[in-house]
Structures are given as C-alpha cells and as structure tokens.
C-alpha cells in the first residue's frame, strides 16, 4: 500500500507495491532519478532512467498525464528526507503531478527484498531481443562466415539496422544503412533477387535479431540471417570495420510499398496490434483516463517535412530499442502512425509482443501531415530569474578574469561541455551540485549556463540557495554565446563533477576495450535467465 510520507503531497512505497502494479499491468512510472551511469550499473527491469538534473526538461513530454502513478527511485544511501528520490518527487509535485511516491530504501532495498537488478541501458528491449532469439531461433552467421561471403563476392546484401550516425561511425564492409523500421519497406529494392542472401547487423545483438526476425516474420523470399554479435563480434574476430561510409536506402516504388504494407499488416495482426481512427486519437490526446503516447515511426527527415500535431518523431527501430527512454509509463497506451502502412505496423508488432497496448492510426484524413519542423517538447513555464546577456558576461570576464570576480558554472551534459564551453567555465552536474561545493572556486558572483538557457533557469533557485553570492543565468546559453561570435574552449578543462551523466556503452565508437566488448556479450547472453527470475515482463513472442 502506498502510504503518506513526512513531506506533504508525497507518498512512500516499497517493493511489493511496485511489483504488484507491474504484475497487474497498472500504469506506473517507475523513475530512476540517478544519472545514467549509476543507473546502468544496477537497476530494476522497468525503472526508467529519469535524471534529477533534467527533470523539468523531460517531465511533461514523457509523463503526459498529470495524475499517473509515479514512483521515484535512487541509490538508497541517504536519509529519505534528504534523498534525491525525495527531491525529485517534490519537484514533480511542484510541476503539477498529483500521485507521486518515493521508493523507500532505493535500489538497495529493491535488491534486499528479492528484486532482480539489471545492468546496462535499454534493458527491457535488449532482454526482449534475447528472448526472441531463444524462442524463434533467429538464424545468424559468425563474423568470419560473413567476411568469407564478402571475400567470395557472394550474392549477399548487408543492411545495418542502427541509426545512420552509428553506421557512419563504423560499419561492416559493403553494408548499407537501413534502420530497423525501414527494413521491411526497403528490402525488396535493396535485394531485388530472391536468391540474394540478406544479412542484418547492428553494434551488438538486439537490433540484428529484431531486424532479421522482422524480415522473416514479414515473409520476404530471401534467406535472412543476423550478423552474430554485430560490430563487436566483427572486431573480436580481428576483422577491420569501415569508417565514414554513407550508403543509405533509397525511395521505393508504389508497388514495393503496397506489397510491404500487406506483409506488415499481416505481422501486426498476428501480434495483436489494434487499430484506431484520428477521431478516437484526438480524444486520447486529452490524457483524461489513460497515459497515451503518440509516435511517428518514420524518419526524422520525413517528420520534419510534414507530421500530425501532437505526434513525436520516434523512428520505429529506435523506439523498439529504447522504448522506456520516451515512454517511461509502463502500462500506457501507444499510438503509432506512418504514411506507408509499413513502419508503424512493424514497430507496433514488436511493441505488442513487449506487452504494450499499442494501436496503429488508420483511415487518415487528407492533408493530416500538415505540421512542419522538428518536434518540440512541452515544458513548464520558465521561472523569472536574474539574467545576464552575452555582451554583459563577455565584458565582465574581460574586466574581471584576473581577479576571479565572476565564475561561470556550466550545467550542460559532459559531452556538450567537452565539445565547446565558455572559457574558464566550471563543469558541474546539477544533481551533484552539493558535492561540488567544496571544490567550487569562491566568487562574489556566479553565472549559470547550459546549451540554451532553459536548464539554468529551472535550476537557478536550488543552486542560488546553496551559494552565498548573487547567481544569474546567461540569456540564450552557450548557443547564444557562440552565435554572438564569442570564443569557445574545448575539452574537459574544469570538471568539478564526475561525468556520470552518460554511461560508456561497450558497443559505441571505435575505442572500446576488447574485454569490455566480450563482457557485454556475456551479459546479454544471460538476460533471458534474468527475465525468468524477475517475472514482471509479460513478454509474449509470436
């Protein structure tokens, strides 16, 4: 039972409360408010990473219904009243959420109560992928076997199911970029001969498995296999990856689209995907009785050209790969749309098997894709805070740098800070600000910066309360500084916080240690067993 806490409007709960909600498929947003790296070290299966440092930026878009049941979770290493989970809960209440509880004792209490803990990120999707392979015996080829086919110039087409930027960073020789949701739509023109063998790869395992099984489920005539263990397996086999390749899928004919749409619709129906109309979806946009997410499964480029108001650009392959990053409310409803009848259906077929209540939008009115541009997140009203312009800050730094009279505090993500920051700016994670106070240089005045000024504004009150000096926010943030032609400094020049906001994935980039890559594969192989121990997933592979 959820119980009152010592803080008004915030409740507390324990292991059985959350587990019961998951088992009964009730809506629950189980939010791990730690930064991404500690989250990735150990967390419950459906605890979505929702960092305290970005809570205002994410709350309204990821938690669209204000009366959804929310449970905040942290490490559990400090007193409840002083905990990050309680701070996050109070912030959510201030943002208008009415059913917020703190998980007593954090991750440590979850484990002590017998709860299973999982490592890495996007674990629901990765564990589901492993279950798919175990249930369907998805065919795969080893890296040496695939290299031999390439060397023999065999009739083979390799398609890379990751995002294009990942493909461009490193790829299998001869591979073409074709992100997961595009495969069933595009494969007939990438491999027009039924005799051509198709091989699907990603960096590790999940997107290779899901991509391969998508093509098999859709009944394409070609022989299809996954590249076992992806680019990690390729590297561990001592084989060389290409870098900087730009091969991409092309547009398809109307005949190809219609054939693919028929195949995708059949797969979706077998998986139990539901249909809905625009009229019904408009009623759901009120978020009155259930949390409903609205996602456009097409490419970001298509979305920008024209989309439906209220739908977020979420390419289908990535949505299956990292569902909890955009839909942290377990038990919510998901509505998908596309313009071709393929990508939404294929994406929905996987989400349905992952126990989501998923619908595809059909019978669309003419000209419904009328909105243009990028998706814009809903945000709380910006607080009124003391501010400083770029010109004023530049002048102050020129005049006062020698005397150290003004300190710039950069709240950006670590990767953003390294790419370029105001010279002399001190990197501090908002969630780690108290810990950084002991090493923060003393100054009579401070300026908060972030990429666009938004996060600085939201964080101003709590940070100003900790500093015995005036605190202002840079108007327009680092972007405004750069646009004004002011100089930027690159590199990790002044880190007052450990860069724990990003977990270093063993399958990203080209410099991961071999030991880390092998350990990652070993971890993935054990996920099916962990699912069985946890017992809350409701996955149903068809």
Residue 241 CA, chain-centre distance (Å), reads: 26
Residues contacting residue 359 through CB under 8 Å, at least 6 positions apart: 273, 274, 275, 276, 281, 333, 334, 335, 336, 348
pLDDT of 32 reads 98
User: Residue 377, by phi and psi: left (phi above 0), alpha (psi -120 to 50) or beta?
Assistant: beta
Give the separation between CA 212 and CA 221, rounded to whole angstroms: 13
H or E stretch covering 398: helix 390-400
Q: Which two tokens stand for residue 184?
A: 């069933």
Task: Provide the sign of the torsion angle of the four alpha carbons 40, 43, 47, 50, taken in this order.
Answer: negative
pLDDT of 398 reads 85
Residues contacting residue 420 through CB under 8 Å, at least 6 positions apart: 478, 482, 488, 489, 490
Q: The pTM is what?
A: 0.96
Let me know if 489 is exposed, middle or buried by CB neighbors in 10 A (0-12, 13-18, 19+). middle
pLDDT of 366 reads 82
pLDDT of 493 reads 96
Q: Which two tokens stand for residue 433?
A: 């600000």
Model pLDDT for residues 484-510, shown as the tens digit of each residue: 999 999 999 999 999 999 999 988 877
Q: What is the CB-side half-sphere exposure of residue 377 using CA atoms within 13 A? A: 16
pLDDT of 403 reads 58
Show the DSSP H helices in 113-151 as ranges.
123-136, 143-151
Place of tokens 């979706």: 268
Nearest CA to 521 among 53, 56, 204?
A: 204
Give the separation between CA 184 and CA 180, rounded to whole angstroms: 8
Radius of gyration of the chain (CA): 24
Give the separation between CA 33 and CA 52, rounded to whole angstroms: 5
Structural domains of the chain ordered from first start: 3-121 (3.40.250.10), 127-245 (3.40.250.10), 262-361 (3.40.250.10), 387-483 (3.40.250.10)
Give the separation between CA 534 and CA 178, rounded to whole angstroms: 34
Model pLDDT for residues 37-55, shown as the tens digit of each residue: 999 999 999 999 999 999 9
Per run of 10 residues, the mean pLDDT along the chain (length 542 residues) is 89 98 98 98 98 97 98 96 96 97 98 98 98 98 98 98 97 98 98 98 97 98 98 96 97 97 98 96 95 98 97 97 98 98 98 98 92 96 96 87 78 97 97 94 94 97 94 98 97 96 87 89 94 97 96
- Residue 117 neighbours by CB distance under 10 Å: 17
pLDDT of 468 reads 86
């Amino acid at each position: 039972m959820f119980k009152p806490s010592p803080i008004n409007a915030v409740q507390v709960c324990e292991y059985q409360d959350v587990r019961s909600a998951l088992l009964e498929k009730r809506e629950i947003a189980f939010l791990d408010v730690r930064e991404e790296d500690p989250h990735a070290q150990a967390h419950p299966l459906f605890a979505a990473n929702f960092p305290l440092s970005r809570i205002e930026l994410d709350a309204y878009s990821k938690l669209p219904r204000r009366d959804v049941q929310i449970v905040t979770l942290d490490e559990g290493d400090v007193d409840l009243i002083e905990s990050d989970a309680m701070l996050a809960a109070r912030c959510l209440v201030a943002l208008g959420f009415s059913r917020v509880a703190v998980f007593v004792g954090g991750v440590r209490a979850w484990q002590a109560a017998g709860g299973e803990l999982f490592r890495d990120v996007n674990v629901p999707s990765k564990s589901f992928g492993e279950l798919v392979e175990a249930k369907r015996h998805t065919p795969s080829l080893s890296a040496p076997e695939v290299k031999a086919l390439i060397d023999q110039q065999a009739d083979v087409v390799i398609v890379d199911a990751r995002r294009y930027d990942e493909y461009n960073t490193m790829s299998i020789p001869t591979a073409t970029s074709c992100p997961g949701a595009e495969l069933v739509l595009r494969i007939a023109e990438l491999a027009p001969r039924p005799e051509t063998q198709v091989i699907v790869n990603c960096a590790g395992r999940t997107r290779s498995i899901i991509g391969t099984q998508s093509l098999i489920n859709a009944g394409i005539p070609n022989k299809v296999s996954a590249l076992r263990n992806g680019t990690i397996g390729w590297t561990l086999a001592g084989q060389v990856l290409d870098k900087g390749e730009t091969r991409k899928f092309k547009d398809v004919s109307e005949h190809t689209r219609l054939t693919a749409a028929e195949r995708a619709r059949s797969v979706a129906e077998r998986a139990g995907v539901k249909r809905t109309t625009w009229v019904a979806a408009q009623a759901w946009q009120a978020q009155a009785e259930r949390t409903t997410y609205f996602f456009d499964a097409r490419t970001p480029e298509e979305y920008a050209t024209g989309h439906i108001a209220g739908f977020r650009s979420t390419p289908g392959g990535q949505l299956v790969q990292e569902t909890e990053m955009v839909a942290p409310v377990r038990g919510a409803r998901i509505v998908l749309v596309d313009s071709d009848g393929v990508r939404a259906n294929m994406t929905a077929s996987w989400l349905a098997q992952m126990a989501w209540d998923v619908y595809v939008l059909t019978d669309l009115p003419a000209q419904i894709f009328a909105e243009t541009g990028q998706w814009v997140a809903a945000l709380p009203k910006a607080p009124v805070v003391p501010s400083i312009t770029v010109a004023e800050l530049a002048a102050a730094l020129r005049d006062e740098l020698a005397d150290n009279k003004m300190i710039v505090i950069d709240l950006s993500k670590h990767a953003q800070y390294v790419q370029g920051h105001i010279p002399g700016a001190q990197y501090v994670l908002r969630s780690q600000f108290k810990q950084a106070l002991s090493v923060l240089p003393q100054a009579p005045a401070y300026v908060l910066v972030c990429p666009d000024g938004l996060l600085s504004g939201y964080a101003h009150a709590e940070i100003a309360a900790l500093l015995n000096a005036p605190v202002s926010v840079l108007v327009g943030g680092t972007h405004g500084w750069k646009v004004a032609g002011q100089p930027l400094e690159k590199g990790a020049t002044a880190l007052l916080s450990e860069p724990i906001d990003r977990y270093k994935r063993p399958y990203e980039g080209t410099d991961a240690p071999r030991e880390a890559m092998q350990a990652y594969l070993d971890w993935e192989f054990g996920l099916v067993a962990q699912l069985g121990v946890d017992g809350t997933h409701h996955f149903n592979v068809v």
